[in-house]
Amino acid sequence: MPLIITAVYFLLIIIFLAIGGAIVFHLLFYKINRHVSGLMFLIYLAGVLFLLISNFILFRQVNWYQIFSGFNF
């Protein structure tokens, strides 16, 4: 069961990165002000890295066997 959960988690991460890539593309190529665009890109990148790292750490701490022990599959 945890293998399925891990696969779904990584699928969600890939979707998150794809949407993030679209946001970065629009930040960099549809800019009004180059300085503001670069600054916003750096702020966005720092936020994404923080969220991904903290999310991965929290995901690894969950005991999936204990959560799904009451279900009969």
17-58 pLDDT, tens digit each: 999 999 989 888 886 788 888 888 899 999 999 999 999 999
Residue 9's pLDDT band, with cuts at 50, 70 and 90, is very high
Which pairs with CB-CB distance under 8 Å and at least 24 residues apart come from 60-65?
64/1, 64/2, 64/5, 65/1, 65/2
Going from N- to C-terminal start, the domains of the chain cover: 2-63
Q: Tell me how far apart the alpha carbons of residues 55 and 59 are, in angstroms, rounded to a whole number.
A: 6
Q: What is the DSSP letter of 73?
A: -
d(CA 61, CA 15): 22
Whole-model pTM? 0.76
